[in-house]
């Protein structure tokens, strides 16, 4: 049984008379513990797909099961529960709050989840340590480099022990060296903690960190590429 199981997924938008099929007949099954990438041209539906996988949006067609539980018909409040319990998000632009320290940024979602102070502090410090930022906890985002800010965002995503990390162009705002650094953190989270990772990227070098690449074209899966690890040496 796949952890994330999407069958015949469609997502259309209607703007007046014009209908856009952002996704069509998408079948994707991602196993627990996999690390996969999604590539495709701008407008091919990558973010739309990731938002559905992350229960931020619902498909207009098809079925989606997480751990055998149907989610395609759930209400917003239930979707929010699933997000809180299973999923951590990482975005291209970090989305850190500028007036909060690194640790406070990591703690924020834990506050919303009702975690108590002492446990919150422990979890957020552990998460920051896991991304190599133990000595930057009190820094504001403006006092951190781009790569460090993305590491804070990753710490925020892992602090509540999610089963899955979803990342939309996590290295898109970073230089290639810093991007590789973020990928080695993803690799470690995937291998050591068994976190399932689904990332969207425009960069092939980054996509090769996954074991599979789903290529999207005009809202459809054009091809599923298996990554030969020995060739890519990743
Ligand atoms: N809210 C919306 N209303 C109408 N159309 C939308 C909406 N969101 C996305 N679309 C359309 O759906 C298609 C897919 O968009 P999506 O954002 O998923 O592309 P993408 O592959 O992530 O592109 P990029 O690489 O530029 O981020 C596009 O044609 C877009 O215009
Ligand atoms: Mg996008």
Q: CA 132, CA 151: separation in Å to the nearest integer?
A: 8
- What's 228's domain CATH number? 3.40.50.300
CA distance 166 to 87: 7
Residue nearest to atom 16 of ligand 1 (CA): 45
Residue with CA nearest ligand 1 atom 17? 47
Ligand 2 centroid to residue 46 C-alpha, Å: 6
Confidence of residue 229 (pLDDT cuts 50, 70, 90): confident
Q: Quote the CA–CA distance of 102 and 104 in Å, as a whole number.
A: 6
What pTM did the predictor assign?
A: 0.94
Query: 46, 60, 91: which to mutate for ligand 1, most atoms within 8 A of CB?
Result: 46
Q: Estimate to the nearest angstrom the gap between the alpha carbon of 164 and the chain centroid.
A: 7
Between the CA of 141 and the centroid of ligand 1 the distance, in Å, is 29
Domain count, the chain: 1
Q: Is the CB of 217 under 6 A from ligand 1?
A: no
Token pair for 97: 């709050």
Highest mean pLDDT pick, 86-95, 106-115, 208-217: 208-217
Q: Which domain holds residue 106?
A: 4-232
pLDDT tens-digit readout, 157-200: 999 999 999 999 999 999 999 999 999 999 999 999 999 999 99
């Amino acid at each position: 049984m796949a952890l994330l199981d999407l069958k015949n997924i469609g997502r259309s938008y209607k703007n007046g008379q014009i209908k856009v099929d952002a996704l069509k007949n998408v079948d994707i099954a991602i196993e627990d513990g996999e690390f996969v990438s999604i590539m495709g041209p701008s407008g091919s539906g990558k973010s739309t797909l990731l938002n559905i996988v992350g229960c931020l949006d619902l498909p207009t067609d098809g079925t989606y099961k997480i751990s055998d539980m149907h989610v395609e018909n759930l209400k917003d409040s239930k979707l929010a529960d699933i997000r809180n319990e299973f999923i951590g998000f990482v975005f291209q632009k970090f989305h850190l709050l500028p007036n909060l320290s690194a640790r406070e940024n990591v703690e924020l979602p834990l506050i919303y989840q009702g975690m108590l102070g002492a446990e919150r502090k422990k979890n957020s410090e552990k998460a920051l340590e896991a991304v190599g930022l133990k000595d930057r906890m009190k820094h504001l985002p403006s006092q951190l480099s781009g790569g460090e800010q993305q590491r804070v965002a990753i710490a925020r995503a892992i602090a509540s022990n999610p089963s899955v990390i979803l990342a939309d162009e996590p290295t898109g705002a970073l230089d290639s060296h810093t991007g590789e650094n973020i990928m080695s953190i993803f690799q470690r989270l995937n291998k050591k903690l068994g976190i399932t990772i689904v990332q969207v990227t425009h960069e092939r070098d980054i996509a090769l960190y996954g074991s599979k690449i789903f290529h999207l074209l005009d809202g459809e899966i054009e091809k599923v590429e298996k990554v030969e690890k020995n060739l890519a040496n990743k």
